């Protein structure tokens, strides 16, 4: 019986790890026959787990949805620590009440952890502190409605407040939700404007799904679209420079929320960014200590020349006074 119980738990864990398992693959992983797998699946069904049988050449088993309660998740050592540690870190405040929800989930998980793992999770919590964030909070209802519409490809009606405080009612076809850590954005096709847009979820008022199914044509890469929208397009000055460094080295120094990066070869990277203050761009590029060449943005060249002249004057005056 102990061997059978262990095998049932292993089978349940495997079924939870991916959407579909051929019977032969389950048998091979468990070191038993296909016939034994069939018996184990029947035992799990008798215990209330909704395991479905698939037919065809790749026939096998999958763990179905439903049931009165979610079946217990089988987590290995590293997974358990990662889940519990992530829940401890979930009190970011980006979604109101999210920290309370994470605390309730953690309270259910921690008592089930073996003592050694519980101590590891406790150490993570005790030895970790968080700085206050300036995250713009969003409504949980908005997040659920929007992400569900993205999944189901369903049109949305949104009351939206733009950056100037103007409130409009918009009809949008949602594509993806992108989180930058501080803010959440919806990439959607705005039917009233006939163009793809990024919409901040914290600026959503009333939002509801219309029930109208949509077909998206040529949707953009959501992450790149948001990155460009928040790092370049809103600003008066836009510049494009070529940096003499591999993209992985530049990525460490240039946050994704401030510029877009493109590798031209193994040793050079194109950086595109924007700002209302061109001298700020010049300063940040200089402090990277990477040689660069201006491809677009005459204002950046003028700003660099001006900075060099002012630095020269300061050094000259300082030497004279010394």
How many CB atoms lie under 10 A from the CB of residue 32? 15
Closest CA to 242 of 273, 218, 216: 273
pLDDT recorded at residue 74: 62
How many CB atoms lie under 10 A from the CB of residue 198? 18
Rounded-to-integer distance, Cα 199 and Cα 185, Å: 5
Rounded-to-integer distance, Cα 248 and Cα 320, Å: 43
Look up the CATH superfamily of 232-311: Malonyl-CoA ACP transacylase, ACP-binding (3.30.70.250)
Q: What is the CATH number of domain 140-220?
A: 2.30.30
pLDDT recorded at residue 67: 41
pLDDT recorded at residue 15: 84
Closest CA to 300 of 278, 283, 319: 278
100 CB contacts (<8 Å, ≥6 apart)? none
253 CB contacts (<8 Å, ≥6 apart)? 288, 290
pLDDT recorded at residue 93: 53
N-terminal to C-terminal alpha carbon distance within the chain: 88
Asked if 201 and 138 count as a contact pair (C-beta separation under 8 A), the reply is yes
Listed by start position, the domains of the chain span 2-63, 77-126, 140-220, 232-311
Rounded-to-integer distance, Cα 125 and Cα 89, Å: 8
H helices, E strands: number in the chain: 11, 12
Helix (H, G, I), strand (E, B) or coil at 276: coil
Asked if 188 and 156 count as a contact pair (C-beta separation under 8 A), the reply is yes
Tokens of 84: 């519990």
**What does the DSSP 8-state code read for residue 77?**
H
Q: What is the pLDDT along the chain (322 residues), one digit of tens a residue?
A: 457 777 888 888 888 777 888 988 898 888 899 899 999 999 888 877 888 888 776 678 988 765 434 555 566 667 777 777 676 666 555 555 556 666 667 666 676 666 777 777 677 666 665 555 555 677 778 888 899 899 889 999 999 998 888 999 999 999 999 887 678 899 999 998 899 999 999 999 889 999 999 999 889 999 888 888 877 666 788 889 999 999 999 999 988 778 888 899 999 999 988 888 889 889 999 989 999 999 988 899 998 998 888 888 777 766 555 4
User: What fold does the segment set 2-63 form as a domain?
Assistant: Arc Repressor Mutant, subunit A (1.10.10)
């Amino acid at each position: 019986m102990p061997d059978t119980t262990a095998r049932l738990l292993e089978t349940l864990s495997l079924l939870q790890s991916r959407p579909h398992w051929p019977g032969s693959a389950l048998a091979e992983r468990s070191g038993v026959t296909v016939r034994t797998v069939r018996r184990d699946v029947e035992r799990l069904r008798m215990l209330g787990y909704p395991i479905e049988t698939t037919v065809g050449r790749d026939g096998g088993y999958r763990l179905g949805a439903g049931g009165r309660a979610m079946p217990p998740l089988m987590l290995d050592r590293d997974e358990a620590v990662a889940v519990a540690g992530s829940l401890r870190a979930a009190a970011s405040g980006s979604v109101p009440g999210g920290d309370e929800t994470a605390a309730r989930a953690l309270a259910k998980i921690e008592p089930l952890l073996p003592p050694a793992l519980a101590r590891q999770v406790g150490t993570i919590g005790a030895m970790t502190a968080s700085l206050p964030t300036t995250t713009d909070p969003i409504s949980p209802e908005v997040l659920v409605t929007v992400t569900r519409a993205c999944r189901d490809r369903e049109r949305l009606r949104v009351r939206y407040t733009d950056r100037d405080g103007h409130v409009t009612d918009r009809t949008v076809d949602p594509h993806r939700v992108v989180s930058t850590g501080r803010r959440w954005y919806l990439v959607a096709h705005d039917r009233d404007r006939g163009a793809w847009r990024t919409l901040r979820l914290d600026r959503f008022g009333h939002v509801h799904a219309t029930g109208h199914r949509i077909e998206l044509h040529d949707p953009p890469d959501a992450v790149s679209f948001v990155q460009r929208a928040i790092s370049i397009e809103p600003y008066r000055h836009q510049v494009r420079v070529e940096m003499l460094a591999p993209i992985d080295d530049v990525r460490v120094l240039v946050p994704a929320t401030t510029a877009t990066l493109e590798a031209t070869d193994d040793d050079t990277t194109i950086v595109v960014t924007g700002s209302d203050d061109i001298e700020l761009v010049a300063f940040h590029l200089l402090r990277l200590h990477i040689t660069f060449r201006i491809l677009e943005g005459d204002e950046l060249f003028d700003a660099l020349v001006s900075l060099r002249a002012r630095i020269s004057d300061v050094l000259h005056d300082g030497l004279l006074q010394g």
